Structure 1
Amino acid sequence: MVKAQNQSKPVIRQEISGVERLGIRVSSMINHPQAQAQRWVTIHRLDTDGDREWEEIMDLLSETDGIDMTLNDDESVSLQWKRFEDI
């Protein structure tokens, strides 16, 4: 009788960049059902968000048609948008 050998391959973990991590967080906040219902969200910068990453994501958002961006006194950013049908 031949024993089956365990030939599982090692799992390779791929790290995501800071920009990707921040982009995922912001996207999740925008796509949250409550944000979609009210059509606005406020994004707070975390201590783990680097300057370069924050600026890159904020630049992308500012260039996105249909999004109004407000810089708040507490350094958070509020985004507001209209329903797709209203555009």
Structure 2
Amino acid sequence: MDEQKGCRAQSPRAEITSMERLSLRVSSMINHPVAQTQRWVTIHRLETDGDREWEEVLGVIADTDELELTLNDDDSVTVRWEQQEIEMAGKGKVAFEPEEQPAPF
């Protein structure tokens, strides 16, 4: 009996980089429904977050005009944002953008 007959070929999985992992974690925290409702989130640095990756993500957040970054005493960071107003096309009225805005990375 052929041993490989019932086995599926496994494709190699692409490894995610530490920068991608951190970016995905921060992005999902910012886009979480609770964070979107309260318009702020506190992000804690994990032991697996490298110095370079942590500084790069904080730099992207700090450089994003719509986001306010506060460094906390416990080495966490709090990201805050305001509800964005947009003018409704041709109506002269102000509406609010949907709360769910993707993180900038």
Structure 2 length normalisation: TM-score? 0.72
Task: Show the counterpart of 1:45.
Answer: 45
SS at match of 2:14: coil
Q: Deviations over 1:15-53 (max 9, x none)?
A: 011110000000010000000000000000001101011
CA distance in 2, matches of 1:9, 1:83: 49
Structure 2 stretches lacking a partner, 5+ long: 86-95, 98-105
Per the TM alignment, residue 9 of structure 1 is displaced from its structure 2 partner at its CA by: 4.6
Q: What percentage of aligned pairs have identical amino acids? A: 56
Runs of 4+ residues over 3 Å off in structure 1:
none
2:62 corresponds to 1:62: yes
CA distance in 1, matches of 2:78, 2:58: 11
2:17 corresponds to 1:12: no
What is the root-mean-square deviation of aligned Cα atoms in Å? 1.8
Task: Looking at secondary structure, tell me which structure has more helix per residue.
Answer: 1
Structure 1 stretches lacking a partner, 5+ long: none
2:29 corresponds to 1:29: yes
Number of equivalences = 83
Per the TM alignment, residue 55 of structure 1 is displaced from its structure 2 partner at its CA by: 0.6
Which amino acid is the alignment partner of residue 71 of structure 2? L
Structure 1 length normalisation: TM-score? 0.86
Which amino acid is the alignment partner of residue 73 of structure 1? D
